Chains A and B, each alone.
Chain A
């Protein structure tokens, strides 16, 4: 591949990121997409414009400014000349799916090393050109110039064909913080003005010539088979047509509303299987599920003898509910599958991963399949986006026309893959002085099927197209062990063969429920020991950055040292309290301390969270305002999950399918937020899109305990549940 050819290809695609007015694209790669080649990640045009090719995508997180900040600094470019192409399988290296808060620590650091390698190459080329030692040169604003002044030479003028076709140097020298010009600054995201004025083109806005609008008719019950379709029932709707592949059923029409009308009008008959346990029995079903394997993932000394020798022993069980991604815009996709090639426009967090999957079910070679990321509604994990993309691809292939699939609200809440239910059994002992002697956790979560390329797609199962079966929900055992230096610890995960509904990764997979159990049980032990919850934690915490995070929260809350619960006025209707929780994400990443202040209303069971204080340490912050936004989002979304959200179902189907039955946080519920960002410019940068979510539920539950003496061990903390807990203590 030559530099010229690549440049020509890029010029041909110049309109792509701006207008998306794409002709049917070539799928053959004309430039490197290797994850270890500099020119896989970067291109410098003759006019000096820098294009960054990222396999990771923005999703509303601000990666779209953070990545240019990193590249501009390491390369020595003007950030105004840096643009980003994201998640297009024909243009970007495969950096793995966007998720797990890995965009910055993994994805951006690969690109950072590519930019630094390019800078070193440019300095070497300039050294030859200018007959000066490279050490006397610097790269600034797209030129290389002598540090002492004098004539400069532009990057583009230094680059002949293929000069950036070199391996990324994994040991390349990275700029130290004192040379950062962009990193660490709260630069504004480039997409926000267009998003606030209706100019931004979301996937939902994307249209192709000759495109049909489709609505997929999902079955009325999980696993139902389509028995019959009465096509005459939509005969009067202009242009409406039925597409059926076994039990995969859709209607299409040239106009979007007519597709909606047809989906509503079409009369169908389905079988009515009863495959689900019903949500009332969800935790019993978790306990009854076959254990595929048990894994002790943390062991410190022997817990058995230590527990046996304890002055006092405690045990409790905690439950985290099935929850939906509940994306604001239901899943959408546009596909054009014709003439032996496929292009799919998708908001997937895993376009590269999906390329092989889509190639397989479409019966096409992978190099004839292209997935192009476009912004959609925030997804927070694998929502229905991949399913919608498969819907669109199958329909487009069947019709040989471009097809746009838009899910309904009801289908999104019913059929998006869910965060799995979690059950945690925790046991611990205290010695006579109130110190923890031993801790055991058993966490029950669905197994992650080894080698599963992606979660099973709805359309393929319905259409009878074979696909690898299994489940995948992320690292759901993480943080189920305590972060404290207890003398004996044993944490076991029981990976379950079955789980009621299809699952996937949902923001901070498993960690919210696990920290809920660990940090609430820690609070239970502190209460039993008659200790202040903060002091009890600090006594057993060794991580200096964690200790600082907790202390910063305590200071901001004017924390009063006393055991929980506080003094409870038996006559008061509204009870107030404060709680604290801590975690180090995945026991290896961010340090997060969370404080909550709550009011609980005795008569109604309504819990109001009035204030959240968070101290967050993710190492070097590329863009502190992005970090702050992610921390805010993690807190408020998890507050919503903690107080309101549970996917309910009967024995056949999900029944919480709108915002009345699956309520989200609303503006009157929003607490005062105090966020403390701990600045660690010399520490490695970590993501911020998951870690701050982890301790939110625990902090709120601990504050409710402080206010009321009620220990809530099952989320969400709905008024009915809290009222019942009040009633149980009154009798």
Chain B
């Protein structure tokens, strides 16, 4: 057992680990009680666990916690119901989720994209989200929300 420090949502958070290979997702959810990143597949195939590390979208189910040395931002670090981020606000306005289980990955991925490409085309948004799955079929609204956020950025 050793304790490492994660930089999460602007704060330094100690995390005790007894397995270096534990994915970051478990530290965020189980140790730090964050709810934004979600377990969907554990295989890096669905995107539900996405977080930002130094502004890059990262699958937290695939990254060993001991490698997560950058600045981590989760869904709750972007904004809140009272003060949502521009991407979150666009998703809320478009009601761009049904069960909402995939929403974290969608919002984090779009946020990362807009950090790199200020005004992406819809094709670029689709490509950025190509490895983010949604089962409810909210894709059309998610695309509209992303384009709305891109226009407002």
In-complex Cβ contact of A328 among B35, B43, B99 (8 A): B99
**Which residues between 55 and 77 of chain A lie within 8 Å of chain B, taking CB atoms?**
59-62
Q: Which residues of chain A come closer than 8 Å to B69, judged between CB atoms? A: none
Q: Chain A CB within 10 Å — which of B80, B98, B101 has the most?
A: B98
Q: With A and B bound together, what is the CA distance between A37 and B125 in angstroms?
A: 51
Among listed A130-138, A364-372, A374-382, interface-contacting one: A374-382
Complex contact A202–B101 (CB within 8 A): yes
Q: With A and B bound together, what is the CA distance between A255 and B1 in angstroms?
A: 13
Q: Which residues of chain B come closer than 8 Å to A207, judged between CB atoms? A: 33
Q: What class of interface size applies to chain B in its complex with A?
A: 35 or more
CB closest residue in chain A, given B96: A196
For residue A14, CB closer than 8 A to chain B, the reply is no
In-complex Cβ contact of A238 among B18, B43, B45 (8 A): B18
Q: With A and B bound together, what is the CA distance between A191 and B95 in angstroms?
A: 10
In-complex Cβ contact of B75 among A191, A197, A636, A666 (8 A): A197
Complex contact A60–B100 (CB within 8 A): yes
Complex contact A380–B135 (CB within 8 A): yes
Question: Beyond A629-B141, A664-B133, is A378–B35 a contact (Cβ under 8 Å)?
Answer: no
In-complex Cβ contact of B80 among A197, A330, A378, A632 (8 A): A197
Complex contact A409–B92 (CB within 8 A): no
Q: Which residues of chain B come closer than 8 Å to A151, judged between CB atoms? A: none
Complex contact A659–B46 (CB within 8 A): yes
Q: With A and B bound together, what is the CA distance between A625 and B9 in angstroms?
A: 34
Interface 0/1 of B5-41, CB less than 8 Å to A: 0000000000000110011001001100111101111
> What distance in Å separates the Cβ of B122 from its nearest Cβ neighbour in chain A?
10
Question: Beyond A198-B74, A378-B98, A659-B46, is A637–B136 a contact (Cβ under 8 Å)?
Answer: yes
Q: Chain A CB within 10 Å — which of B33, B34, B139 has the most?
A: B139
Q: Which residues of chain A come closer than 8 Å to B102, judged between CB atoms? A: 328
Q: Which residues of chain A come closer than 8 Å to B135, judged between CB atoms? A: 326-328, 377-378, 380, 637, 664
Q: Which residues of chain A come closer than 8 Å to B36, judged between CB atoms? A: 197-198
Among listed A85-93, A256-264, A294-302, A509-517, interface-contacting one: A256-264
Q: With A and B bound together, what is the CA distance between A258 and B142 in angstroms?
A: 35
Q: Which residues of chain A come closer than 8 Å to B45, judged between CB atoms? A: 409, 658-660
For residue A129, CB closer than 8 A to chain B, the reply is no
> What distance in Å separates the Cβ of A242 from its nearest Cβ neighbour in chain B?
19
Q: With A and B bound together, what is the CA distance between A60 and B135 in angstroms?
A: 11
Q: Which residues of chain A come closer than 8 Å to B74, judged between CB atoms? A: 198
Interface 0/1 of A616-642, CB less than 8 Å to B: 000000000100010011111100100
Q: With A and B bound together, what is the CA distance between A202 and B38 in angstroms?
A: 10
Q: Which residues of chain B come closer than 8 Å to A409, judged between CB atoms? A: 40-43, 45-46
Q: With A and B bound together, what is the CA distance between A207 and B129 in angstroms?
A: 31
Q: With A and B bound together, what is the CA distance between A60 and B138 in angstroms?
A: 11
**Which residues between 66 and 82 of chain B lie within 8 Å of chain A, taking CB atoms?**
74-76, 78-81
Q: Which residues of chain A come closer than 8 Å to B129, judged between CB atoms? A: 666-667
CB closest residue in chain A, given B38: A329
Q: Which residues of chain A come closer than 8 Å to B130, judged between CB atoms? A: 666-668
Complex contact A197–B76 (CB within 8 A): yes
For residue A406, CB closer than 8 A to chain B, the reply is yes
Complex contact A670–B133 (CB within 8 A): no
> What distance in Å separates the Cβ of A382 from its nearest Cβ neighbour in chain B?
15
In-complex Cβ contact of B30 among A192, A193, A256 (8 A): A256
Q: Chain A CB within 10 Å — which of B30, B48, B84, B140 has the most?
A: B140
CB closest residue in chain B, given A634: B137
Q: With A and B bound together, what is the CA distance between A207 and B22 in angstroms?
A: 20
For residue A201, CB closer than 8 A to chain B, the reply is yes
Q: Which residues of chain A come closer than 8 Å to B137, judged between CB atoms? A: 632-637, 640, 665
Complex contact B80–A633 (CB within 8 A): no
Question: Beyond A204-B38, A409-B41, A667-B129, is A625–B95 a contact (Cβ under 8 Å)?
Answer: yes
Complex contact B40–A198 (CB within 8 A): no
CB closest residue in chain B, given A193: B81
For residue A200, CB closer than 8 A to chain B, the reply is yes
Complex contact A202–B35 (CB within 8 A): yes
Q: How many of A's residues come within 8 Å of B, CB to CB?
A: 61
Interface 0/1 of A429-453, CB less than 8 Å to B: 0000000000000000000000000
Complex contact B22–A257 (CB within 8 A): yes
> What distance in Å separates the Cβ of A344 from its nearest Cβ neighbour in chain B?
20
Q: With A and B bound together, what is the CA distance between A524 and B91 in angstroms?
A: 43
Question: Beyond A327-B135, A633-B136, is A198–B91 a contact (Cβ under 8 Å)?
Answer: no
Complex contact A204–B100 (CB within 8 A): no
For residue A175, CB closer than 8 A to chain B, the reply is no
Question: Beyond A257-B19, A666-B131, is A195–B97 a contact (Cβ under 8 Å)?
Answer: yes
For residue A673, CB closer than 8 A to chain B, the reply is yes
For residue B50, CB closer than 8 A to chain A, the reply is no
In-complex Cβ contact of A197 among B81, B96, B132 (8 A): B81
Complex contact A632–B22 (CB within 8 A): no
Complex contact B101–A328 (CB within 8 A): yes
CB closest residue in chain A, given B80: A197
> What distance in Å separates the Cβ of A130 from its nearest Cβ neighbour in chain B?
41
Complex contact B18–A329 (CB within 8 A): no
Complex contact A198–B75 (CB within 8 A): yes
Q: With A and B bound together, what is the CA distance between A189 and B81 in angstroms?
A: 13
Q: With A and B bound together, what is the CA distance between A456 and B131 in angstroms?
A: 35
**Which residues between 111 and 153 of chain B lie within 8 Å of chain A, taking CB atoms?**
125-127, 129-143
Q: With A and B bound together, what is the CA distance between A198 and B136 in angstroms?
A: 18
For residue A572, CB closer than 8 A to chain B, the reply is no
> What distance in Å separates the Cβ of B92 from its nearest Cβ neighbour in chain A?
5
For residue B103, CB closer than 8 A to chain A, the reply is yes
Complex contact A193–B92 (CB within 8 A): yes
CB closest residue in chain A, given B95: A192
Q: Which residues of chain A come closer than 8 Å to B132, judged between CB atoms? A: 667
Could you list 5 A-B pairs, sorted by A, with CB under 8 Å? Answer: A197-B81, A204-B39, A330-B40, A664-B135, A668-B126
Residues of A within 8 A of B (CB): 59-62, 188-189, 191-202, 204-205, 207, 213, 238, 255-258, 260-261, 326-330, 375-378, 380, 406, 408-409, 625, 629, 632-637, 640, 658-660, 664-668, 670, 673
- Top 4 nearest A-B pairs by Cβ distance? A636-B137, A60-B99, A195-B100, A198-B36
Residues of B within 8 A of A (CB): 1, 18-19, 22-23, 26, 29-30, 33-36, 38-43, 45-46, 48, 74-76, 78-81, 84, 88, 91-92, 95-104, 107, 125-127, 129-143
Sample of 20 further A-B pairs with CB below 8 A, known A59-B99, A408-B42? A60-B97, A192-B97, A193-B92, A196-B97, A197-B81, A197-B84, A198-B74, A200-B100, A255-B30, A257-B22, A257-B26, A328-B48, A328-B134, A329-B99, A409-B40, A625-B95, A633-B98, A634-B137, A640-B137, A666-B130
